[in-house]
Amino acid sequence: MIRKFGWVLASVISLAGIGAASAADMAVKARPVVVPAFIIGLTNSVWAELRANLRGERPVRAVFGEPIDLGAYPPEARLVHHKKCADLFNEKIAALGAEEKALRA
């Protein structure tokens, strides 16, 4: 599916790092265009989100960054390289969070 669409949102990688190395592994091997995204305003309740959407409450804000170049990571990289790539993704997402906070201020 990644090759079909050719892109992956880096926001799927949690800032806590859970699953980050495997997501970076997938990105390094598949070579999609990785676009970091910081999304704020969502809850874990689908019904609450649906209600809020219909009523126009609680806007969801998204900030997208520049595509991340994966050229420094060879496709057959080791787990250490995947961890470094995941750390890069997390840094970019954290920077977008700071940018979103500055835009709201």
Confidence of residue 19 (pLDDT cuts 50, 70, 90): low
Structural domain count, the chain: 1
pTM, whole model, 2 decimals?
Answer: 0.70
What pLDDT, in 10s, does the model give residues 54-71? 888 888 888 999 999 888
Mean pLDDT value across residues 90-96: 92
- Indicate whether 22 pLDDT > 80: no
- Alpha-carbon distances, residue 15 vs 9, 19, 40 (angstroms): 14, 10, 13
Mean pLDDT value across residues 97-103: 90
Average pLDDT, the chain: 78
- Beta carbons of 82 and 9 less than 8 angstroms apart: no
| Higher-pLDDT residue of 78, 19 | 78
Full residue range of the structural domain in which residue 39 is found: 2-104
